[in-house]
Structure formats: C-alpha cells, structure tokens
Amino acid sequence: MEELHGRQKVVQKAEGVLLDDSYQLKEALQLTTTKVICQRCGSRFSKEESRLPNQDYYCPYCIQLGRVTGQSYLVFQEEKTRNTRPVTFTWQGTLTPAQEEVSQHILENYQHNKNSLVWAVTGSGKTEMIFAVLRYCLQNGGRVAIASPRIDVCRELYPRIHEVFPKEQTLLLYGDSNEAYRYNALTICTTHQLFHFYRAFDLLIVDEIDAFPYDGDTRLAFAQKNALKKKGKLIYLSATPPIHLLKAIEGTFCIEKLPLRFHKRPLVVPQLVWYEQWQYCYQSNWKIRKLITYLKKLLCDNDVLIFCPSIRYMQKLYKKVRQFFNPQEMTSVSSQDELREEKVQSMREGAYRILFCTTILERGVTFEHISVIIMGANHKIFRKSVLVQMAGRVDRKGDYQHGQVLFFYDQQTQAIRDACEEIKKMNCLAKEWLSR
Ligand SMILES: [Zn+2]
C-alpha cells in the first residue's frame, strides 16, 4: 500500500486487516438500528434506501468517488510532523496599503489560532493577500491547501502560486487533472478533492466559498472538516459571502473586509433596464431591437460580455444577434464547450468584440475594456452573489474605460435589489477607507 499521510482511501476489509500498523482503519459506514451514516461524506440515510442484494449497505451519496459498503474500511496514516524550513518566495510585486493591512491581519489571525473570512470586493487582488500567511505556514513546516469549488479558479491560481513559490512541489488536483497524487506541502484543488484527505492541513484556504457547488453542500462541508487537522485553521475568501455563511461563522471567524479595488475606483453600479419579455427577444427583429441598440452603444467604448441564464437560450440569442454584426467578431462559451479556454484567451487578445456566456465566466476571469450585459437578471439562476460577481467583471484593471453593467429584466427580484444595494454599500465603505 502506498503512503497515506493525511490521505484517506477505501479498502476492502480483508485487505485492510493485512496492512501494517502504521495504517489506521475506521468503518466506512456506521450502522444504527434504522440508519446508515457514511464516514466519508457524512450523509445519513435509511437502511431501506441503500440495501444491496446481498443485504449489505452502500452510500449512494458519494458513489462517484467509488463505492463504500459495510465491507469497506477507510484507511489513512497520521500526518507527518515536519520542522521549520527555508521557503523560496520570489514575488516581486507590492501590496497597496489596504491589501497590506488585510494581509497582515490574516497572518496575525493564523498566528493566534483564529480563522479568517476575507470579504474583498471583486478586483481587489485577493490572491496576493494570502502570500504572507502561505509563506509563514510553509516555513513552519505546515501543510496547506487552497481549494475552490471552481475548476477554472484552480487552473488560474496554480501558475500564480507556482510562480511565487517556485521550489514547492505544488500539486494541482481536480476531477480530470492528469496529475497523480504525491505527498507535498502545497496543494491547489477543487473542493471535491477534499474527500480524499484526512487531518492533513494546518491551513486550508477556500477561495470563492460562496460559489456553486460548494455553497450549501453539507457533504463538502463534512469533507472540509475532515481534511483539516484538529488544530488546523481556515481562511475563506469571497467577494460575496451569503448571509447564512456570515451567520454560521459568527464568533468563530475574524472578518476582514476590503471594499477597495486594486486601482481604488468604485465598483460599477448596475443600470437596470426594463426589457419586456427578454425571454423571447430572439424571435423577431422587432423584439431584439432593444438589445441591438444598447449593444451598439456599449461597443463604442468597450467589448461586451453577454451573460445568459442557460446554454440553449444563449445559442438562440447568439444566432439572432449574429445577423446584426460581423459574425467573426463574436463567439460564445459554456461549460459544454471544449474550446472554452482558447476562446476566453482569444477574447482577451482582442480577437472578438462580443462574447456570449453562461455563469461559468461569472468569476475568476479578467478582461480589459469590457462592459457587461445580463440577459434576464430576474432569472432565478442569478442569485445575488452571481449578479455581484458578473457586474464585478467590469473595470478590473488598466485605466478607466467607461465600462458599464446593464441588467435587462422584466420583473424586480430580491436578488437584483440586494446586489445593487451591496455594491453601493461597498462603494460607500471604500470612500471611507480612502478618506481616513
Ligand atoms: Zn458517502
């Protein structure tokens, strides 16, 4: 059996009893008189719903990770203890005073055994603010993971982290990644990968804590707790922490707010544009007229991202809008698009002027010279945090470009109200920070 320090794996019981004594075993399924509790994902369910033909049980809730049954053990080894060591850190940039303050607070919280939530507006430069605590933890022999619910966020983070800690054998783990697991001190992974760890990390940083599918998934919360050492600490990063999260961490986390963007300009406040029956606007030249008019205006200053609530709607809209512009200047991306990374890169390089997308581009991506249109801001998929994130794509870097955010809608929703209010509140707070 391979080494499993801080790692957990499922084995058959017969195989488990033969392992040497450095391995620890626990029952994968705990049975009560009527219920089964899975020790890998924390799900509780009735014996009836999970009975196998041979009268054994299995967990249906984490089966995508390989089946656990009553005949399985979870096997792991204690995490190694390591000493302080030199860590090569080659970052050349500097933090703004506001970033410096937050960076220092996070470090101090960690040193004093406290968890942190970094509530920093989109475009504030969150990643740079965790360098100091990362370095400190590694230097003290600690093991760190940076996890995100979004694969794209992990992929964007990996080269940036690797660049500043070039001598760490940084590991990038996600569902289809080609990298095999190996023992190391610094890991970047999707939150789903946390199911494979057990009491491994001294520091676990969860980026985009409010993103789907992490938010509200009790199994991921269970995995996160298991992956952390008993005395391990958490840092959550978010531009849009949901209220239930703020309530849940009250008293156990220090909240570090950063309302200022890197360039100190305020967040762009969305303009609400009434668009009667936007759902059907691709059906005729008459119905699409409003979108085309606004789009032409926005294109005078910037390229445009058009967020759509579904892939099918996006495709219909894309087809219609093509009739009014040079088709070579526009493209579309979705989660089903194999070329999505290439297309996003081409957009950055100026190959396209209009990019249609779904919520996959809501966070983690930066374009210069961009305005944003949200088709159907009142659609239920566009929660408050999603709206704030999409709006946050505008004016992230470079000089001011007159980027705009338009919410097309035909019904007022709580999410729209809350998103606009939160953006305005953060701008007020930013003003205070600038004047102090
Ligand atoms: Zn399970």
Q: Which two tokens stand for residue 351?
A: 């190959």
Cα 344 to ligand 1 centroid, rounded to whole Å: 36
Q: Could you tell me the CATH number of the domain that includes residue 401?
A: 3.40.50.300
User: Does residue 86 form part of some domain?
Assistant: no
Cα 107 to ligand 1 centroid, rounded to whole Å: 35
Q: Which two tokens stand for residue 275?
A: 């668009």
Cα 46 to ligand 1 centroid, rounded to whole Å: 13
Cα 226 to ligand 1 centroid, rounded to whole Å: 13
Q: What is the pLDDT of residue 41?
A: 95
Q: What is the pLDDT of residue 341?
A: 85
Nearest to 66 by CA among 10, 25, 147, 19: 10
71 shares its domain with 142: no
Q: Which two tokens stand for residue 50?
A: 């999970």
147 shares its domain with 120: yes
- For tokens 């709206």, what's the residue? 387
How much of the chain is helix, strand and coil, in % rounded to 5? 35, 25, 40
Q: Which two tokens stand for residue 202?
A: 């001294």
In this structure, are residues 145 and 227 in contact, taking their beta carbons and an 8 Å threshold?
Answer: yes
Cα 228 to ligand 1 centroid, rounded to whole Å: 18
d(CA 94, CA 229) in angstroms, rounded, equals: 32
User: Does residue 329 form part of some domain?
Assistant: yes
Cα 336 to ligand 1 centroid, rounded to whole Å: 27
d(CA 135, CA 89) in angstroms, rounded, equals: 7
Nearest to 39 by CA among 3, 68, 12, 65: 68
User: Does residue 19 form part of some domain?
Assistant: yes
**Helix (H/G/I), strand (E/B), else coil: 172:** strand
Angle, helices 97-111/131-139, rounded to nearest 10 degrees: 30
d(CA 417, CA 150) in angstroms, rounded, equals: 26
Q: pLDDT tens per residue, the chain (436 residues)? A: 888 999 999 999 999 999 999 999 999 999 999 999 999 999 999 999 899 999 999 999 999 899 999 999 999 999 888 899 999 999 999 999 999 999 999 999 999 999 999 999 988 889 999 999 999 999 999 999 999 998 888 988 999 999 999 999 999 999 877 788 999 999 999 999 999 999 999 999 999 888 876 677 899 999 999 999 999 999 999 998 988 899 999 999 999 999 999 899 999 999 999 999 999 999 999 999 999 999 999 999 999 999 999 999 999 999 999 999 999 999 999 988 889 889 999 999 999 999 999 988 887 778 999 999 999 999 999 999 999 999 999 998 888 889 999 999 999 999 999 999 999 999 999 999 898 8
d(CA 295, CA 310) in angstroms, rounded, equals: 20
**pTM of the full structure:** 0.88
Task: Report CA 261 to chain centroid distance, whole Å.
Answer: 19
Q: What is the pLDDT of residue 71?
A: 95
For 120-161, give the DSSP string.
Answer: E-TTS-HHHHTHHHHHHHHHTT--EEEEES-HHHHHHHHHHH
289 shares its domain with 431: yes
Cα 192 to ligand 1 centroid, rounded to whole Å: 13
Cα 381 to ligand 1 centroid, rounded to whole Å: 28
Q: What is the pLDDT of residue 373?
A: 98
User: Does residue 265 form part of some domain?
Assistant: no
Cα 234 to ligand 1 centroid, rounded to whole Å: 23
User: Does residue 161 form part of some domain?
Assistant: yes
Cα 4 to ligand 1 centroid, rounded to whole Å: 20
User: Does residue 298 form part of some domain?
Assistant: yes
Residue/partner pairs of 107-112 with CB below 8 Å, 24 or more apart: 107/132, 107/133, 107/136, 109/233, 109/254, 109/256, 110/136, 110/137, 110/203, 110/233, 110/235, 111/136
The residues, ordered by sequence, that sit 6+ positions from 271 with a Cβ below 8 Å of its Cβ are 404, 405, 406, 407
234 shares its domain with 366: no
Cα 70 to ligand 1 centroid, rounded to whole Å: 12
d(CA 220, CA 399) in angstroms, rounded, equals: 40
How many CB atoms are closer than 10 A to CB 95? 18
176 shares its domain with 209: yes
d(CA 25, CA 75) in angstroms, rounded, equals: 5
17 shares its domain with 70: yes
Domain endpoint, select from 258, 283, 317: 258
d(CA 235, CA 271) in angstroms, rounded, equals: 33
- For tokens 């620890």, what's the residue? 24
Into how many domains does the chain fold? Answer: 3
248 shares its domain with 288: no
247 shares its domain with 293: no
Cα 86 to ligand 1 centroid, rounded to whole Å: 39
Domain endpoint, select from 218, 233, 258: 258
The residues, ordered by sequence, that sit 6+ positions from 364 with a Cβ below 8 Å of its Cβ are 150, 152, 153, 156, 208
How would you label 247-259 residue by residue, b for 16+ Cβ within 10 Å and e otherwise? eebeeebbebebb
DSSP state of 366: -
- For tokens 């059907």, what's the residue? 280
Cα 247 to ligand 1 centroid, rounded to whole Å: 27
In this structure, are residues 335 and 397 in contact, taking their beta carbons and an 8 Å threshold?
Answer: no
The residues, ordered by sequence, that sit 6+ positions from 365 with a Cβ below 8 Å of its Cβ are 152, 156, 344, 393
In whole angstroms, how far apart are CA 259 and each of 56, 65, 278, 425? 54, 39, 33, 9
User: Does residue 306 form part of some domain?
Assistant: yes
The residues, ordered by sequence, that sit 6+ positions from 335 with a Cβ below 8 Å of its Cβ are 311, 358, 360
Nearest to 395 by CA among 423, 356, 367, 422: 367
167 shares its domain with 199: yes
User: Does residue 368 form part of some domain?
Assistant: yes
328 shares its domain with 408: yes
Cα 40 to ligand 1 centroid, rounded to whole Å: 5
φ, ψ for residue 181, nearest 5 deg? -70, 140
122 shares its domain with 28: no
286 shares its domain with 395: yes
Cα 261 to ligand 1 centroid, rounded to whole Å: 41
Structural domain containing residue 62: 8-76
Cα 297 to ligand 1 centroid, rounded to whole Å: 52
Q: What is the pLDDT of residue 140?
A: 96
